[in-house]
Amino acid sequence: MSRIALFLAITVTIISPCLSQADPLSSRQIPQSVVQIFVQSNPAELDAPWIGVGVESTSGSGVIIEGNRILTAAHVVDDALSIEIKRPGLPRRYVARVEQFGHECDLAILSVEREEFFEGTVPMPLGGTPKVEDEVRVYGFPVGGDALSVTSGIVSRAEVSFYAHSMRKLLLLQIDAALNPGNSGGPVVSEGTLAGISMQLLDGAENVGYIIPAAVIAHFLEDLKEHGCVLGFPSLGVTVQPITNDALRQEYALAPEQDGALVVGVNYGDSASGHLEPGDVIIAVDGIRVAEDLTVPVDGFGRLNFSYLIQTKQVGEETSLEVLRGGQKRHEVISLKNVPSLVPGTHHVTNNSFYVFGGLVFQPLTLEYLFLYDDCETWIPGELSIYGLTRNFRTPERDQVIMLTSVLPAPINRGYQDYEDEVVASVNGRIPRDMRDLLSIVENAKGPRLRILMESGAVLVLDLERARADQGGILKSHRLPSECSVGLKEDQKQQ
């Protein structure tokens, strides 16, 4: 799998009372709307989220939009301790803060309290999503200098593919304009309007960059307008495979003129839960036929994965599916949800969840954790890769995959200290649904011992009374501020 590198860049477009938001900006106005973003951050260690990796200084770009808001990429300001922004050609930096995150689509809204920052600026209006072969210009502050940089190129490809920040598959445009670290968050402009936001580049390739298209930006802003928060992008919540083999087509009773997507898994509680089941074949979405390669025709983009049709809708809207089940056609009208998968994409500040008991460190599995192994080029434990790549859907018993990621040495856990990255099968005979449920099981456990069964078959048993008595000492000796992540106990009490 190709590695995708995130890069930082900031461009800002600003508002003026004398220009309608719908009016495109002139070539002279655009640079006045671009800003540089300076960030001090301290990301959490993935396998020890109670500590940070250390303070890092990065920079990016952003664009000023309607309402004195600054739009940038979420990864530019994620884990930020402080944010400052600066307009091109002006010496002063201004303090900014994050108003909203859209981690799925790698977007964020910043605000600046000092109104003087926006004086003389014009907001950049949101335009349409450029098509393949359309020309675009990229504005930002890439590394190598302090002045505003402008590069040109064309849209070379459109596809539904991974956003590196969230590992969510959404509409993504590839451009051949030069993108470099520092460009992230900056505007991509077409005919004086915002056509996209610079986001990521492909390691090892020349002039292969990716942008968040205007359609995705519009979806994000519509959430904020309608709900005041980000509900995100809906999905059917199914795992599918193409049906190309003749014997497979016969197995599921497809007529010669029929194609579709074979459902092999359903994310419990998600949009399709209760409507679709493994063995169903999705023939059409909202009347548009699904081809054997799982694509649908989209004007200006060629063919895209059929999930694109779902992502164009807002959470709560409906979609109509034509489904083949046992050779019989049926129609399903589904209200769309956005339910996290069993193994979500990444950790963020809000879900760097952990719980330590008796020195045993428990965390939920994320795709980001799997890529920690990929980056180190080390062997990935089989249970982890299976859940992350082929069994990534919730069940009635499980909303998260709980791991024993490591063991902090202490007398109570003697003999267990080499265990790491094991999937927890049960605790005292119960499958922990999620981290809150795990905390509840342990805290309410009775009897002399706590028995933890791993999916590998390993069994770890703790003296329950002694583990509780030693808990404070273990936390102190390993310099942990708490036995669990912020909010985990509060969340557990609310259930």
Angle between helices 382-389 and 367-376 (to 10 degrees): 130
Confidence (pLDDT) at 11: 31
Domain residue ranges of the chain, discontinuous segments joined by +: 1-228, 238-335, 349-494
3-state secondary structure (DSSP) of residue 58:
strand
Count Cα atoms within 13 angstroms, Cβ side, for 99.
17
Phi/psi at 377 (nearest 5 deg)?
A: 55, 45
Beta bridge partners of 108: 72, 101
Tokens representing 377 are: 């080029």
Between CA 476 and CA 429 the distance in angstroms is 30
- Report yes or no: 72 and 106 within 8 Å, Cβ to Cβ: no
Confidence (pLDDT) at 6: 41
Q: How far apart are the first and last CA of the chain?
A: 39
Residue 197's Cα: distance from chain center in Å? 16
Confidence (pLDDT) at 380: 66
| Four-way CATH pick for 238-335: 2.30.42.10, 3.60.150.10, 2.160.20.10, 3.40.309.10 | 2.30.42.10
What is the residue whose two structure tokens read 């004195």?
68
Nearest to 39 by CA among 61, 13, 68: 61
Nearest to 104 by CA among 7, 225, 219: 219
Between CA 234 and CA 114 the distance in angstroms is 36
Q: Which residues are catalytic?
A: 75, 106, 184
Confidence (pLDDT) at 411: 97
CATH of domain 1-228: 2.40.10.120
CATH of domain 349-494: 3.20.190.20
Tokens representing 487 are: 């909010």
Confidence (pLDDT) at 375: 56
Q: What angle do CA 190, 64, 300 make, to 5 degrees?
A: 25
Confidence (pLDDT) at 114: 93
Residue 153's Cα: distance from chain center in Å? 27
Residue type, 132: V
Average pLDDT per consecutive 10 residues, the chain (495 residues; last block may be shorter): 36 32 84 96 88 91 96 95 94 96 96 93 95 95 88 95 92 90 94 95 74 97 95 96 94 93 96 96 97 95 96 97 95 96 74 90 90 61 80 92 96 96 96 96 96 96 97 96 85 53
Is residue 112 classed exposed, middle or buried when 0-12, 13-18 and 19+ CB atoms within 10 A define those classes?
buried
Confidence (pLDDT) at 181: 86
